[in-house]
Structure 1
Amino acid sequence: MPAEITQQLNFNDEVTGLIYGYVFEPDTAARRIPSREVLNEFQSIEPGRGFIWLHVNLNHATAEKWLKKHFAMADFFFEEIRQGSRSTRIERQGEVLFAVLNDVIFRPEGGGEDAATLWLYCRPQLVVTARHKPVRLIENLFRKLDQLMPASPTALLVDLLEEQEDVLEQIVRQANLYVDAIEERLLSHHIKNNRTALGRLRRLLLRYQRLLAPEPAALFRLMSRPPAWLETVVVQDIRHFAEEFTVVLNDLVGLTERIRLLQEEIAAKQMEQNNRTLFQLTIITVLALPINIVAGFFGMNVGGIPFANNRHGFLLLVLIVTGFTLITAYWALRRRDND
């Protein structure tokens, strides 16, 4: 039987919704385990001598029941998931660490849902991550497990926080390149398109900022009153993460302000162009005014029309209209120069 079919059959046998299951032990590489071995491995871990990481697909009907039955997970975790809470935060719930992390794909041109949420439950000897849609944070961490070798559940949490920070850094970098390209086109004839693109990008960055920026109040409470089992070095790592994330957020705010200034500049250029077009139309209307007035008078079907019996009447009339038109043009252009 081909390898791909075998893997698919094994995946279908995974009735718990488990995607990844890993055992982490001191001075040992991470070891992947199937769901049928998870419970035995979890019960055999000695306190302070390792932990288990479970990554679960919440779309699986039995995932919640399996976690509650075998790992006594608190109800608040699943209530938060059902409420659809998506704002990034790390907080303490009793002696448990609860985190919500988000992953987004930068699509400045729009189209399609671009965000995925990861919920994390962390206590001594156990880390559970759950998602509805694939999350790049987990896939990136999965590829680095051999190099990272986290020594505790909170160390794995810190690694995930660093992945979230990398996601926001990439977004800021890509958005800067996108804005640079618009600045290069600023003097072109596509002002309207540039303004629309900048508006869409600004709304997108504000949404990313809302999704990816951790709630400061929850983070402050965690750092001021961490659980008793949380190592001091991990609290320092979380504080360091908060400082680095603040720097990235400042870059994002600066980029948003830069986009706003570009929007104002484009709006000013567009207004100037509209004013120039309106002035040109006004000039044309003013220049056509003398001939319209004269034509209206001479079109009256009454007696006493001047030059009616003069064989040079038409030429005289053209000269009069031309003179009035030149005077009107001089007055209008002089007013423009004075303005």
Structure 2
Amino acid sequence: MSETLQLPPIAVFELDGAGGAAPSSLEDLPQSDAGSNGFEFVWIQLQRDNAEALEWLESGSDLDGFIREALTAEDTRPRCTVHGDGAIINLRGVNLHEGAEPEDMISLRLWVEKRRVIGVWRRPLYAAADLMASLERGIAPASPGDLVAKLALRLVDRMEPTVADLHEQIDEMEDVLDDPEASFSRSDLADLRRQAIILRRFISPQRDALNTLAIEDLDWLTERDRSRIREAADKTTRVAEELESVRERAAIVHDQLLERRAEQMNSYTLLLSVVAAIFLPLGLLTGLLGINVGGMPGANSPWAFWIVTASLVVIGLVLAAFFRRAKLI
């Protein structure tokens, strides 16, 4: 992305369950009673490092310590944990900020209950920004479960271009392998494999988390919610399968690259062996003729040097013809 994403450190929305949403504030929440003031539930998005947001979580949110700890944990993996009448859901999205690595995935922690969804983020996610933009267009989630499903679907939608880019990179590498004159850096292949492995490490648990939420016995989850969550889980599964495909193709390309280099090394070794085999007898002859003892034939003949040289050339040609006939060169 060329632009830098900016999200408000505290964002509160009151949703009426019919596609409408209105901005609110943390100060208005104690006086608001969802279901009686014209809205069905509230969506609260908080930046973890914001002092006011942390203060509200600690003293104004009526959340117990387990939930607060889960929402503000330093490191998280995708999961779904039912706690009382609600669920803690951790999701991950690719890092699309300028200059960032996509596999440096960004977490979104959610506490979801019947009348309230609390999301905590450390770095802004484009998927959350997409959903906030849809609220402004009058396309708001109808329920907390629908909100989770929409977030999960947007996370997957944002992942798909990254996965498609990995496929394009591996396609180019496979094309290069078909051209004996072309080559590519092994570090590029290693980087691609690393990206696919890291992305899949988080995407697979995310699929499991969504599937877990879809089957949990929570009375605020409607059949429509469960259907949308399963849809998000299925789409996440497809992305995980695509990443597995990239990883397997990268492994095949790596093996083919090693085989190609091994063949090149074998051909070079064979060529050196043939050259050594041709010059070994020639070296033996010149060594014998170069010993400093009496009785060397042709020592006093002006034609001896040329006769020896011609003999060596003939022997070399005969040996080269032999190796060529044996298909060694």
- TM-score scaled by length of structure 1: 0.82
Mapped to 2, the partners of 1:295 and 1:82 lie a distance apart of 83
From 93, 108, 117, the counterpart of 1:127: 117
Aligned to 2:298: 307
Structure with higher helix content = 1
**1:248 offset after TM fit, Å?**
2.8
Larger mean CA deviation between 216-225 and 56-65 belongs to 216-225
Equivalent of 2:44, from 46, 50, 54? Answer: 54
Sort the Cα spacing of 1:106 and 1:179 in 2 relative to 1 into closer, same or farther, 3 A: farther
Query: Which amino acid in structure 2 is aligned with residue 22 of structure 1?
Result: F
Question: 8 Å contact 1:172–1:252 — kept in the other structure?
Answer: yes
**Percent identical across equivalent pairs?**
23
Equivalent in 262, 274, 278 of residue 283 of structure 1: 274
Q: 1:221 to 1:188 in 2, by over 3 A?
A: same
Going from structure 1 to structure 2, the CA distance change for 1:44 and 1:159 (only over 3 Å counts) comes to closer
Q: CA, structure 1 residues 225+118, in 2 after alignment: closer, same or farther (shift >3 Å)? A: closer
The one-letter code of the counterpart of 2:48 is L
Other structure's SS at 2:205 match: coil
Q: Which runs of 5+ in 2 are unaligned?
A: 1-5
The aligned counterpart of 2:159 is 168
Structure 1 residues 58 and 231 mapped into 2: Cα distance closer, same or farther (>3 Å)?
same
Equivalence map 1:1-339=2 (5 Å): 18-27=9-18, 29-41=20-32, 43=33, 45-46=35-36, 49-81=39-71, 83-105=73-95, 114-145=104-135, 146-186=137-177, 187=179, 189-193=181-185, 195-215=186-206, 218-337=209-328
Query: In structure 1, how many angstroms separate the alpha carbons of the residues matched to 2:18 and 2:101?
Result: 46
Letter in structure 1 aligned against 2:47: N
Change (3 A) 1:192 1:331: farther
- Counterpart CA distance in 2 for 1:237 and 1:117 is 21
Please state how far the C-alpha of 1:221 moved relative to its aligned partner: 4.3
Structure 1 position 182, deviation (Å): 2.5
Q: How many angstroms does 1:25 deviate by?
A: 1.7
Contact 1:90–1:100 (8 Å) recurs in 2: yes
Whole-Å separation in 2 of the counterparts to 1:277 and 1:143: 62
Alpha-carbon deviation of 1:82? 5.3
Following superposition, which runs of at least 4 residues in structure 1 exceed 6 angstroms of deviation? none
Q: Which amino acid aligns with 1:75?
A: G
| Distance in 1 between residues matched to 2:96 and 2:189, nearest whole Å | 14
Give the distance between the partners of 2:101 and 2:145, measured in 1 at CA: 36
SS of the residue corresponding to residue 56 of structure 1 reads strand
Q: How far, CA to CA, are the matches of 1:136 and 1:144 in structure 2?
A: 12
Task: Tell me the secondary structure at the aligned position of residue 218 of structure 2.
Answer: coil
What's the offset of the Cα at 1:110? 8.4
Secondary structure of the 2:77 match is coil
Give ranges in structure 1 of 5+ residues lacking alignment.
Answer: 1-7, 12-16
- Tell me the amino acid that sits aligned with residue 104 of structure 1: V
How far off its partner does 1:330 sit? 2.6
Question: Does the C-alpha gap of structure 1 residues 110 and 286 become closer, same or farther in structure 2, counting only changes over 3 Å?
Answer: farther
- Partners of 1:38 and 1:119 lie apart in 2 by 20
Does the CA-based 8 Å contact 1:168-1:212 persist in structure 2?
Answer: no
Conserved in 1, the CA contact under 8 Å of 2:274 and 2:328?
no
> What is the CA-CA distance between 1:317 and the residue it aligns to?
0.9
1:53 & 1:190 partners in 2: Cα distance?
Answer: 54
Using the size of structure 2 for normalisation, the TM-score is 0.85
SS at match of 1:267: helix
Instruction: Check whether the contact 1:91–1:98 (CA below 8 A) recurs between aligned residues.
Output: yes
Q: For 1:191-238, what per-residue CA distance to the aligned partner results, in whole angstroms no more than 9, with x for missing partners? A: 341x43223212211110112223565555433332123222212222
